[in-house]
Amino acid sequence: MDFNENKPIYLQITDGIMDDILSGVYPPEGRLPSVREYAAKVEVNANTVMRSYDWLQQQSIIFNKRGIGFFVMAEATKKILEMRKEIFFKEEASYFFGRLSSFGLSPEDVSSLYSKYISDSKQTIK
């Protein structure tokens, strides 16, 4: 896994795990790799992965069954999407909408472009 220096590694790992949950790699109530397995996979210290797992557990995205491992919460997908929406509107939306405005795009233009994006995405999935 390639890490950038703008964000702590453990949070970059949590983002990757949440992406994997959203894409179905780790389904609801499915088991995550052990801390050591995941550390080997992303080539970091096991303590860093443990910190990521602790953070995800505090956010009610995963849970620990003692002696068995970590599992994805049933409502994890919903929780992750809610968290990401909140972060987007708190931290990124102002910049995003400012850029759209600087391009001279009207709300109608944006709506049309977004509709086309959704349509193209659906065709790509087929």
Rounded Cα distance between 62 and 111, Å, is 36
Task: Identify each DSSP E strand in the chain by its residue range.
Answer: 62-65, 69-72
Write the pLDDT tens digit of every residue in 9-18.
Answer: 999 999 999 9
pTM of structure:
0.82
Predicted local distance difference test score (pLDDT) of residue 1: 76
Tell me the pLDDT of the chain averaged across its residues. 94
How are the residues of the chain apportioned to helix, strand and coil, as percentages rounded to the nearest 5? 65, 5, 30
- What φ, ψ does residue 63 adopt, rounded to 5°? -140, 160
